[in-house]
Amino acid sequence: MNLNRLLLTGISCFIFLSGCATQKTPVKKVNKVPTNQTYKYSQGTTVNTSINNSTQNKSNIDKIDKNNIAKLKDYKVSTDYFPSISQDERVRFLVLHYTAINTDLSLKVLTQKDVSAHYLVNDYDDKTINLLVDETKRAWHAGVSSWKGIDNLNFTSIGIEIVNLGNTTSPNYYAPYPEYQIKKVGQLTQDIVNRYGILPTNVVGHSDIAPGRKPDPGPLFPWKQLYTEYGVGAWYDDVDKLLFIDEYPWDTTSTYFVTDVQNSLNKYGYKIPVTGIMDTQTKKVIIAFQMHFRPEKYDGTIDAETWAILKALNKKYNP
Ligand SMILES: [Zn+2]
């Protein structure tokens, strides 16, 4: 590789990103990264301040996790050039689940079987949340999954299991989440999202990333409350929803309409083949979408309200 060319590209990239950030890109607060430097994130967000190398390296050597540096018998690993400016977080998604079993059993299964999550939120009215897997490690919670074109989300996510029986007692009855449990989930998710700078649209349910295969965290999970009270996850603006309801097309059976729906769901993050046909997979994805954003009715039909919410979300988060 031509290093000179790479250097020049890097410099022009730096200038471009700085300009972008000062013009219109909203500066997003991202913790765990040093100040006095320009960082580029995969989402195109930049945190831009001036470089001050003399204090930069010194101040950040303290932040190195000494356990995560190679310890060699014959060589010293130098941190003189730490940190490189080209880096971002490995964790990009936050995935929420329900366990479908009680707390005791959840602890047993999630620590002794071939399934796990980083955190377990019990259903007791106490002050405890269990850490089961270190955040730097991969937990096995997502399985076959996809979001925004990225598969196998175990690699790139933090997983939270919430103790809730879901619809295990009856197919049409979902167990509610008590308020004290949601408060735990709210604080925990807020902390994680802030530390990793996770985008609102990357806070998802298992059902979103595995539609049809997984129903959790189910239609009673209060996504709207999480958004309004903790600033976690995505939610549409009512004014946009009402606007789009008026634009709901009269012919909802045409290939054109179905293709548009599939493209819109794709754009938001769901994995869905664009076939132009209202096929089984499309219905499964619509049900997952409704469970998240229109839980009052999740029948897999793209009615006016469902359609308008989808459009409003894309307008807000994927313009
Ligand atoms: Zn799950």
**Residue 288, domain member (yes or no):** yes
CA of 96 to the centre of ligand 1 (A): 7
Q: Clarify whether residues 127 and 188 are in a common domain.
A: yes
Same domain, 280 and 199: no
Strands annotated E in 27-173: 39-40, 46-47, 93-98, 119-121, 130-131, 146-147, 150-151, 157-162
Local confidence band at 68 (pLDDT 50, 70, 90 cut-offs): confident
Residue 40, domain extent: 3-64
Asked if 163 and 222 sit in the same domain, the reply is yes
How far does residue 172's CA lie from ligand 1's centre (Å)?
18
Q: Are residues 224 and 245 in the same domain?
A: no
149 within domain boundaries: yes
Q: Does residue 58 lie in a domain region?
A: yes
Q: What is the pLDDT of residues 156-192, one digit of tens each?
A: 999 999 999 999 998 889 999 999 999 999 999 999 9
pLDDT tens column, 110-146: 999 999 999 999 999 999 999 999 999 999 999 999 9
Mean pLDDT of 261-284: 97
Residues 216 and 253 in one domain: no
- The number of distinct structural domains making up the chain is 3
Domain membership of residue 118 (yes or no) is yes
Q: Answer with the one of 209, 230, 251 that is the final residue of a domain.
A: 230
Report the pLDDT value the prediction gives residue 26, as an integer from 0 to 100. 39
Residues 117 and 222 in one domain: yes
pLDDT in tens, 189-234: 999 999 999 999 999 999 999 999 999 999 999 999 999 999 999 9
Q: Which listed residue (161, 179, 247, 305) is catalytic? A: 161
C-alpha of residue 206 to centroid of ligand 1, in Å = 5
Predicted confidence band at 250 (pLDDT cuts at 50, 70, 90)? confident
How many Å lie between the centroid of ligand 1 and the Cα of residue 150? 18
Return d(Cα 91, Cα 54) in angstroms, integer.
30
> Which positions ≥6 away from 148 have C-beta within 8 Å?
201, 202, 269
Q: Is 161 a catalytic residue?
A: yes
Are residues 106 and 155 part of one domain?
A: yes
